[in-house]
Structure 1
């Protein structure tokens, strides 16, 4: 269905009344094939701030490594921060996803270990709680 709608001209970056985008919803649900298709059709990884979180943060919290990799390959910002909830690394720590944390730290992209979020402190604070 998603493929057909995109072929007919649906905008992969359109936001609903809650500022959710199709990539965010697909990332939240762990739908890798849909995320991949949306990215191929021009979806921008950092558009939308559903509950102050972008697609990469949602994929990290859900533990969807294949989606995280796809988003980073398409230019998602590893250190993007929502005001209260922190970076993708914060979200991976909060979700308890060691594989995502290891990947983000091994990427060599400069994941900031000491970036502080208003609500949660640093990624280390989240990992300890």
Structure 2
């Protein structure tokens, strides 16, 4: 364990915890309002009640994906914090940008929504 590993591990753990408890929890629980832009897009094609239901399901799917990737990020952070990163200095740059993994569930949900709404 070294200072670099602990700092990078803490970064990943904090980003994972924020993703799970701040972003994903309201999405999965259904406490967030549907996205306004998607609602406008759906309003012309589908009845209002159906549009809200579709958007709520999309939010739940995105929240579950975000929660899963947040857990992966926490596991990565624990591994990095307990390892000796000074021996693997090439990995420091990769691990420093690991919180960008949270973009993956956003892209997955966007692609699912674009397929579902055609």
TM-score (norm. length: structure 1): 0.18
Q: Larger % of helix: which?
A: 2
TM-score between the two structures when normalised by the length of structure 2? 0.19
- Please tell me whether Structure 1 or Structure 2 has the larger radius of gyration of its CA atoms: 2
